[in-house]
Amino acid sequence: MKIAVLPGDGIGTEIVAEAIKVLNVLDLTFEMETALVGGAAFDAHGHPLPDATLKLAMQSDAVLFGAVGDWKYDTLDRPLRPEQAILGLRKNMGLFANFRPAICYEQLVGASSLKPELISGLDILIIRELTGDIYFGQPRGRRVATDGHFPGSEEAFDTMRYSKPEIERIAHVAFQAARKRKASGSEGRVTSVDKANVLETFQFWKDVVSEVGKEYPDIALDHMYVDNAAMQLVKEPKRFDVVVTGNMFGDILSDEASMLTGSIGMLPSASLNSKNQGLYEPSHGSAPDIAGKGVANPLATILSAAMMLRFSLNQAAAADRIETAVKAVLAQGLRTPDIYSAGTTQVGTAQMGDAVVNALR
Ligand code: IPM
Ligand code: MG
């Protein structure tokens, strides 16, 4: 089981260190190799995704990823910005299926900004297509005026596009996930989120998902416009089971859904290719404002490591153990600042990781 460890920038190094502590107390043997990525790689090698890092990732069974980005890189040319590292890994490894579960742990019901009854028992799965859409559309760029009136760029453009096979494969992933969840008590519903009322790309998306849906008569399919979905997610989040959508809408809706769980610091993610090779990262970013302070919540990364064990390394029992340990730690009342509420005990990043390790032991 070969794991490429890419901590990245900001709080990335702190939270990944805690996930590694947790992996190291399981009775399993991993081959782990660490490499620079994002701004850290740019500083050392002049590129956010050096060849050696990409090669290591591609040759591993799984990538454990922290986060990338810092405001200090905002003025770099786009190909050199830290975010290009994660986009390059997704594209080069073909990680088209992004799983972002939003599960509300009972102990954190009070940490959400929503009323407890709306989110208690919440367990939804957002599946975001990750290698297409406006993120990777061509052409993109800027047009410079030639009439002399505008010396700089006159307009900028990005192209939204999806091919039929791209939509089909993510739709199959969503229906299969819904089927699996149905077997353990979920409703068996896929909600496909689009903007078919305005965008041609998403009318096509809707048509292709409907077509694929005919192969899954046991799964209910409904379609929702993205603006309505954004509203329904906070109005009645438990109406959803599996949500499938494109890259851009999935980016936005998964951040929104994370707040249903109390904190974005709790939300893990998995990005898989067709060979079940995967990249595992917290859904949150590099949080430069709290980097180095030892206060970041490591649980999203620890839970991402659990997803890694389950999806790419075939170690479901170990994944269950980690998830049980996280629940135990929350039940003990330990909270990083992002999930703190009166009557609980505030801890830092390392203390939280240690607590999970102790619970595992
Ligand atoms: C995410 C992030 C990335 C994205 C950024 C860092 C490129 O927001 O994983 O959701 O937009 O996909
Ligand atoms: Mg995002």
pLDDT tens-digit map of 252-298: 999 999 889 888 899 999 999 999 999 999 989 999 999 999 999 99
Pocket (CB within 6 angstroms of ligand 1): 69, 83, 86-87, 251
Average pLDDT value for residue range 53-66: 98
Strand, coil or helix: 248: helix
- Locate the ligand 1 atom nearest the alpha carbon of residue 82 and give its number: 6
Contact 85, 41 (CB under 8 A): yes
Whether residue 149 is predicted with pLDDT greater than 80 in this model: the reply is no
Whether residue 80 is predicted with pLDDT greater than 80 in this model: the reply is yes
Average pLDDT value for residue range 335-352: 95
Chain centre distance of CA 249: 13
Instruction: List, as ranges, residues with CB under 5 A of the ion ligand 2.
Output: 251
Average pLDDT value for residue range 92-97: 98
Kindly identify the ligand whose nearest atom is closest to the C-alpha of 247: 1
Q: How far apart are CA 124 and CA 53, in angstroms?
A: 33
Q: Whose CA is nearest to atom 11 of ligand 1?
A: 251
Whether residue 85 is predicted with pLDDT greater than 80 in this model: the reply is yes
Residue with tokens 């089971």: 241
- Expressed in angstroms and rounded, the spacing between residue 32 Cα and the centre of ligand 1 is 25
Strand, coil or helix: 97: strand
Alpha helices in the chain (DSSP H): 12-24, 39-45, 51-58, 83-93, 116-119, 164-183, 200-213, 226-235, 247-258, 299-311, 316-331, 349-360
- Domains recognised in the chain with CATH numbers: 1-96+273-361 (3.40.718.10), 100-268 (3.40.718.10)
Predicted TM-score of the model (pTM):
0.94
Kindly identify the ligand whose nearest atom is closest to the C-alpha of 87: 1
- Locate the ligand 1 atom nearest the alpha carbon of residue 255 and give its number: 10
Contact 212, 168 (CB under 8 A): yes
Contact 168, 144 (CB under 8 A): no
Q: Whose CA is nearest to atom 6 of ligand 1?
A: 83
Kindly identify the ligand whose nearest atom is closest to the C-alpha of 256: 2
Q: Which residues are catalytic?
A: 135, 195, 227, 251, 255
The pLDDT value recorded for residue 238 is 97
- Would you tell me how many other CB atoms lie within 10 Å of the CB of residue 296? 31
The pLDDT value recorded for residue 4 is 98
Q: How far apart are CA 229 and CA 191, in angstroms?
A: 9
Q: How far apart are CA 234 and CA 36, in angstroms?
A: 37
- Locate the ligand 1 atom nearest the alpha carbon of residue 254 and give its number: 10
